[in-house]
Structure 1
């Protein structure tokens, strides 16, 4: 299983995964979103040791013909391409259906027709909604509390249905709250870091009480690599989480400590989700990942979280990276 297709390779997690696959000896075809600027997203700024060592296919997961063409000659596909911003899904839900649900259908249909030996589909902890019990196992009920999470539930079920109906070797990987270098400022950790790095000391945020299970991107990528190499996992849903819970308010305080800054948090109403749409609590059980994949987080617990934050702060604090972000506005 040497040639792999990565959809969403131009994005945050996808670009890190593409680099890691190359370093691990895989022949990588990176599926990026076609645009007239010929931009490859974050792959335009990939690490020097992997630059030029992967193939790029520009297309759109919403087009079944392009997806099938991209998958030709591949042994496995890691499907990360998706629309993920929750606020954007409130006013443009139709494009989430097309990208997340139909895009996933295109991937698994092509995989079935081409006899792909492994399909790794990317889910999200948002499909669980507010935790009914913790830590959250893979048996937790699914709750679509935003159009985004609803489409990811649909995408997951499409992928799993192909395993049930046709034996397509699908594994669903469900990461919890990944953070790290290159993440969009629509996410809370880059929102906090970029505001502080640009000199702000009154930090604008939404709700502070919800909790999250944050995972440094190297751990998430490690989970994908473990799933790709594992003999078990077909037909399974597998959480990737640190098994550590922290509130948004305490996250902001921890980031300020790492950056040596005194901050005041200001509630910005535009950043608040509708009350019933807010996911109040996320805390992952990662026992299944340890059992099936032999994976466990290297950045677990408060100490690991702080180490991951330090790496993230260092990257965002570089002026060349920081200038790519609009820290003075609300990014959706």
Structure 2
């Protein structure tokens, strides 16, 4: 499938990855409808920050994926749906698990059902490496057992199973992309990389983090967005679940010292108890086996961790006003 001239809906378009995906789709020549969560401030999230030539090319609509009738109206007349809308903050899922079920599970069901009724050409559903839980073996391939170690991961497992069920039961053309840890410009400080960079950039000398022993597989946002595009374009991806990751892992402690070196920062690390997950809920190791995504779509990672970190540091330095480094962002 070529995305040029396709009518495309992006849910979660105002978010970190969604806004980058919208930009890329415009470059591809798609006609983009960007669904942003309704709010009384008429804020379009990161879409408000896009270049005027890009923003003026987008049809922005407000809504809520938990509300079926409006979702069906938004999807009607479109060819492709990129479903990224979700609650994603793991710590907050401990405080409000039902909100994750309503948004991530019921919201996904609404998108799938509307897409089925309207006969869309393709749905690209967004999963997460958190569905694997702590690695039972590495690298983690798509056959690895799913483990709901947090309310967030459990809700995403439910959403993934719904997506598969709609393909198997109704032949809905669904493809599921399972990104590992994406980072880059516009990411909130609920994630570890902007947490470290924003604290250093703001002048703090003691940097607060949680457990620094877990390892993660980090992908720069442009690589993740390219994976979304490749999955959409590939006819072979229908019915498939595919990992998007760099295939390299680094501990949070090593990541901290790498960022310090790149920023020339002489700072101390403080392990803050409130940032540590419950022991049985922590995911200790994530490392992607990305061979299946490459086989199905031809995707390749283009950014090294260091190159992506340098771009992210530059962006956060220029946009430090978007962050509140002295407040723990749940």
Counterpart secondary structure, 1:183: coil
Structure 1 position 270 matched with structure 2 position 250: no
Structure 1 residue 73: deviation in Å?
A: 0.7
Structure 2: 5+ residue runs without aligned partners? none
CA distance in 2 between counterparts of 1:181 and 1:140 reads 30
Scaled by the length of structure 1, the TM-score of the pair is 0.97
Structure 1 residue 329: deviation in Å?
A: 1.0
Structure 1: 5+ residue runs without aligned partners? none
Per-residue deviation, residues 187-213 of structure 1 (Å, max 9, x unmatched): 000000000000012110000110000
Match of 2:245 in 1: 241
Mean CA deviation greater in 47-56 or 260-269: 47-56
Scaled by the length of structure 2, the TM-score of the pair is 0.98
Counterpart secondary structure, 2:190: coil
Structure 1 residue 51: deviation in Å?
A: 2.1
CA distance in 2 between counterparts of 1:48 and 1:114 reads 32
Structure 1 position 281 matched with structure 2 position 285: yes
CA distance in 1 between counterparts of 2:267 and 2:219 reads 24
Structure 1 position 103 matched with structure 2 position 102: no
CA distance in 1 between counterparts of 2:92 and 2:70 reads 26
Match of 2:328 in 1: 330
Number of aligned residue pairs = 326
What is the RMSD of the two structures over their aligned residues, measured on CA atoms?
0.7
CA distance in 2 between counterparts of 1:203 and 1:48 reads 36
Partners of 1:84 and 1:148 within 8 A in 2: yes
Structure 1 residue 262: deviation in Å?
A: 1.5
CA distance in 2 between counterparts of 1:227 and 1:110 reads 21
Within 5 A, what are the aligned runs for 1:136-155?
Answer: 136-155=140-159
CA distance in 1 between counterparts of 2:192 and 2:74 reads 33
Structure 1 residue 125: deviation in Å?
A: 0.2
Structure 1 position 213 matched with structure 2 position 217: yes
Structure 1 residue 122: deviation in Å?
A: 0.1
Counterpart secondary structure, 1:182: coil
CA distance in 1 between counterparts of 2:73 and 2:312 reads 36
Partners of 1:19 and 1:47 within 8 A in 2: no
Mean CA deviation greater in 130-139 or 224-233: 224-233
Question: After the TM superposition, which segments of 4 or more aligned residues of structure 1 sit over 6 Å from their partners?
Answer: none
